[in-house]
Amino acid sequence: MPKTDFTWTREQFHLPDGVIYLDGNSLGPLPQAAAARVAQTVTDEWGEMLITGWNKAGWMAAPKSLGDRIGRLIGAAPGTTVIGDTLSIKVYQALAAALRLAEPGRRIILSDSGNFPSDLYMASGLIDTIGGDYELRTVAPEDVSEALTDEVAVLMLTQVDYRTGRRHDMAELTAKAHAVGALTVWDLAHSAGAIEVDLTGADADFAVGCTYKYLNAGPGAPAFITVAPRYADIAQPALAGWLGHDAPFAFEHAYRPGAGIDRMRVGTPPILQCAALDAALDIWDRVDMAEVRARSVALSERFIAGVEARCSDVTLNSPRDPAMRGSQVAFRHPEAYAVMQALIDRGVIGDFRAPDNLRFGITPLYLSEDDIDRAVTILADILDNRLWDRDAYKQRAAVT
């Protein structure tokens, strides 16, 4: 693949004037082509083709074709990734399938205390549903390897911590899990489009992720699930949805799972969101992930150095070593929420994560060195002059 042109990639996004966007790790910005692509789907396909669009416009095949384009970014084997539904649904599917494949008698789902709460909620809900004596066991992130024993059925982890950006070693932990007879489920919500991922090289069993963060497919965009080829035709879907059936339009009363990754489809694909994802992936098709990662590290190091040189009121809450973190940087401040609101008011958009994290996504496709330097200057001004100390900045909104 030719060298990534980051000037070109920046031009492919709509970024409001005067805004430095450091929250692409939560919601990516609008690709320039997305509005027209969605409009074309609405008018030319839905409008003119009506229901025949499922065949004529390729709507039914979109989840797999889009899945393969994501698969390239995460090192998945062709034909093993499909999109649809939400990330929570995909976590539930992957974990349920992994538990059914686990050795008899194993009852422990192992995760860590830094995992995204929704993943833990889904695991707990699944345990309540299937009954038995299953246990969700969480340990500190640094204790995961030691906690992998022959009691563990499934290791379920988010590769990159949503708050601090701390990164698990997927290959090392997958190898350790397999050595003790456990399977793995990896959540790539903060990995896909952010760091180099090699599911095949790591021999991961299941992986899931979302497309509205670094992949820039828009709010509510569908999630994805990947199943290792060795399990593609034997993994049993817990959610026996119509579109996961081997022959949906045979309308059989009994469920027969589809071949391979098709069995992990559940509901009707969100075609308008698929159109937005298609436009976003047109950019990613011209990007080399190794180059994205190298630029992410360079911009992150620049940001950390700038903040630490000018902002004595904050403390780094991400790993110091860039090899140990994803593509986001977190700093701690006792009034982090108010500080972030002041930043947003000045056109620097990051976000807050409880209890005291200022979180900044470093997204190379559209960020420059100048953006990083200006963000540091504005943050320093807010902290030095206590510009965050206003009642309006301390009133918490529904989304933080």
| Residue of 212, 303, 331, 360 marked catalytic | 212
Token pair belonging to 366? 């559209």
User: What whole-number distance in Å separates Cα of residue 287 and Cα of residue 216?
Assistant: 14
Distance of CA 34 to the CA centre of its chain: 20
| Residue of 68, 112, 187, 205 marked catalytic | 187
Token pair belonging to 368? 């420059």
Whether residue 248 is preceded by a cis peptide bond, meaning omega within 30 degrees of 0, is no
User: What whole-number distance in Å separates Cα of residue 303 and Cα of residue 312?
Assistant: 14
φ, ψ (nearest 5 deg) of residue 361: -85, 130
| Residue of 116, 352, 366, 393 marked catalytic | 116
Token pair belonging to 313? 């009121």
Q: Is 359 a catalytic residue?
A: yes
| Residue of 278, 353, 359, 360 marked catalytic | 359
User: What whole-number distance in Å separates Cα of residue 387 and Cα of residue 379?
Assistant: 10
User: What whole-number distance in Å separates Cα of residue 223 and Cα of residue 287?
Assistant: 21
CB 277 within 8 A of CB 32: no
Question: Exposed/middle/buried for 354, CB within 10 Å: 0-12, 13-18, 19+?
Answer: exposed
User: What whole-number distance in Å separates Cα of residue 66 and Cα of residue 268?
Assistant: 15
Q: What stretches of the chain adopt beta strand conformation (E)? A: 13-14, 20-21, 30-31, 81-83, 108-112, 135-139, 152-158, 183-187, 206-210, 223-227, 315-316, 328-332, 348-349, 351-353, 357-361
Give the angle subtended at the CA of 298 by the CAs of 209 and 213, to the nearest 5°. 20
Q: Is 313 a catalytic residue?
A: no
CB 292 within 8 A of CB 4: yes
| Residue with the two structure tokens 């630029």 | 295
Token pair belonging to 217? 């497919």
| Residue of 106, 213, 265, 353 marked catalytic | 213
Q: Is 213 a catalytic residue?
A: yes
Return the active site residues.
116, 187, 212-213, 359
